[in-house]
Amino acid sequence: MIRIAAVGDVHVDKDVVGRYRPALEELPDRADTLLIAGDLTRHGTVDEAKCFATEFGGLGVPVVVVLGNHDHQSDQQDDVTKVIEDAGITVLEGSATVLELNGHRLGVAGTKGFGGGFAGACASNFGEREMKDFVGTAERYAEDLERALKSVECDALVALTHYAPVPETLVGEPLEIYAFLGCYQLGRSIDAAGAALALHGHAHAGSERGRTPGGVPVRNVAHPVIKQAYNVYQLLSEEVDTTLVGAR
C-alpha cells in the first residue's frame, strides 16, 4: 500500500508560515509522500517561495509539487522553482519522478495545465491567432503531461496538475468560469496513460470527487475544498478506489 497525502492552493506568504506545520510534522506517521497541486505562493515572488520552502521543506517524506497560476503572477517562476528545489522539493512541469515507497514504485507526472473548457463548452482551435494560441497552450500542456505519464515504469501512476482535467470537480464554481479552471485535454491525456489517480487544485469552490471519461479517479485537493492541511489517499490497497483515510 502507498499512502499519498495531497493538498493544493496553500498560497504561502509570511503570514501563512506556521499555519500548516503542526499537521505536516505528523506526515511520516500518516503518509509516505506529499503531493501539492499548485498555487504554492500568493503572488509568485521569490520571498514567498522562501516562505513556502520553510513551511513545506524537511518533512521526512518526499514532497512533489507543480506550480499554479499564482506562482506565475510575478513572472519569476524560474526563480521560484529554484528556491523550492534547493529546499529538496521536486518541482514537475511536463516531467515525472519515481518514488520508492514501501517496496513499491510510485510514478508521479505533473504539469500546471491550462484552461479551455470541457466537452460541449470548450474553446476551439479555429479563427483568430489569439484563440489558436490559447487552445494551443492547453494542448501543449496536455501533450507534455501525457509524455511524462508514459515515460515512467512504476507500480502505481499519479497525475498531478493545477488545472482540472474534468468538470465534475468544478461543481460549486460558476459555470461561466469553467473554461478558466481546466480543460478536457488533460483528462484525455490521463486516460491515454492509464493513471491510477489524478490530483488537481485551482477550483476553490469546487467539489472533491470526479472521474475521467476513462474512469480514473480525480480528486480536487485545493485547501478551500478539503478544508484541512492535507487529505490522504491509498493506492495499491484492497480498495478499488482511492480512499480518504483522514488527516488534520
Give the pLDDT confidence of 201-218 residue by residue, as tens digits: 999 999 999 999 999 999
SS3 of 101-133: the string is: ECCEEEEEEEECCCCCEECCEECCCCCCHHHHH
Task: Indicate the pTM of the whole model.
Answer: 0.94
- Span 66-105, pLDDT tens digits: 999 999 999 999 999 999 999 999 999 999 999 999 899 9
Rounded Cα distance between 124 and 138, Å, is 11
Closest CA to 161 of 186, 133, 194: 186
Closest CA to 246 of 12, 22, 27: 27
Domain boundaries along the sequence of the chain: 2-235
| CATH homologous superfamily of 2-235 | Metallo-dependent phosphatases (3.60.21.10)
* pLDDT under 50: residue ranges of the chain: 240-248
